[in-house]
Amino acid sequence: MYVAIAGNIGSGKSTLTALLSERYALRAVYEAVDENPYLADFYADMGRWAFQSQVFFLSKRLKQHLEEVNPAVHVVQDRTVFEDAYIFAQNLHLEGHLSQRDWSTYLSLYEGIAPALRKPDLLIYVRASLPTLQAHIQRRGREYEQQIPAEYLAALNRLYEAWIAAYDLSPVLVISSDTVNYADDLEDRELLFRMLEGYGLSRPLV
């Protein structure tokens, strides 16, 4: 069972990844955010550092997928390589931070390896409004994230909605972190677990 968790910055993906890993004994594969040496520079000057930052994320995610997701029997992944290409990099191209040449180069890298990647058995999309994203970002306190423009988060949300509407690699479960507080509310958490068990998750997975 490969469960992929998708969602915008601050939507609650990492919290959900940890909860599912603990409850269902899934191997957790987390996003390598803090390892990106370009990230602080990127948020300060997106046009200057967009290509370098996105190529770093793509290379790390591809390596994770091939080494940790593909061979694992039961795994939950915090953000997918599909989002890197079709949400984050595409948004930077649409906003003019990635030139057509850089976007084409990036896309060719992604498309060259994508056929070798394991497809999810279930994709969980954590939907969150802009106020919820901003509240979560402020609460977790990563300094470089405090300067993320609201317009950037809103643009990502629009691309997420379009991507989810067209996604057909696996079943999709959409969860609103505006209304389902699985981080702090035990009743909400148990409700979520019951929903997931309808998609084949069980304790323990066998």
pLDDT in tens, 48-65: 999 999 999 899 889 999
Name the residue ranges covered by the structural domains of the chain: 2-197
Is 7 annotated in some ligand binding site?
yes
Architecture per CATH, domain 2-197, reads as: 3-Layer(aba) Sandwich (3.40)
* pLDDT level of residue 205 (50, 70, 90 thresholds): low
Is 80 annotated in some ligand binding site?
no
Mean pLDDT over all residues of the chain?
Answer: 92
User: Does 35 have pLDDT greater than 90?
Assistant: no
3-state secondary structure string, the chain? CEEEEEECCCCCHHHHHHHHHHHHCCEEECCCHHHCCCHHHHHHCHHHHHHHHHHHHHHHHHHHHHHHHCCCCCEEEECCHHHHHHHHHHHHHHCCCCCHHHHHHHHHHHHHHHHHCCCCCEEEEEECCHHHHHHHHHHHCCHHHCCCCHHHHHHHHHHHHHHHHHCCCCCEEEEECCCCCCCCCHHHHHHHHHHHHCCCCCCCCC
pLDDT at 102: 96
CB count within 10 Å of CB 51 equals: 21
* pLDDT level of residue 191 (50, 70, 90 thresholds): very high
| C-alpha dist (Å) from residue 13 to 10, 18, 30, 49 | 8, 9, 9, 25
The average pLDDT across 78-84 equals 93
- Kindly state the tokens that stand for 9: 């910055």
The average pLDDT across 19-45 equals 88
* pLDDT level of residue 204 (50, 70, 90 thresholds): low
pLDDT at 176: 96
Q: Which pTM value belongs to this model?
A: 0.91
* pLDDT level of residue 106 (50, 70, 90 thresholds): very high
Active-site residue, selected from the candidate residues 78, 178, 185, 188:
78
Q: Is 78 a catalytic residue?
A: yes
pLDDT exceeding 70 applies to what percent of the chain? Answer: 99
Is 17 annotated in some ligand binding site?
no
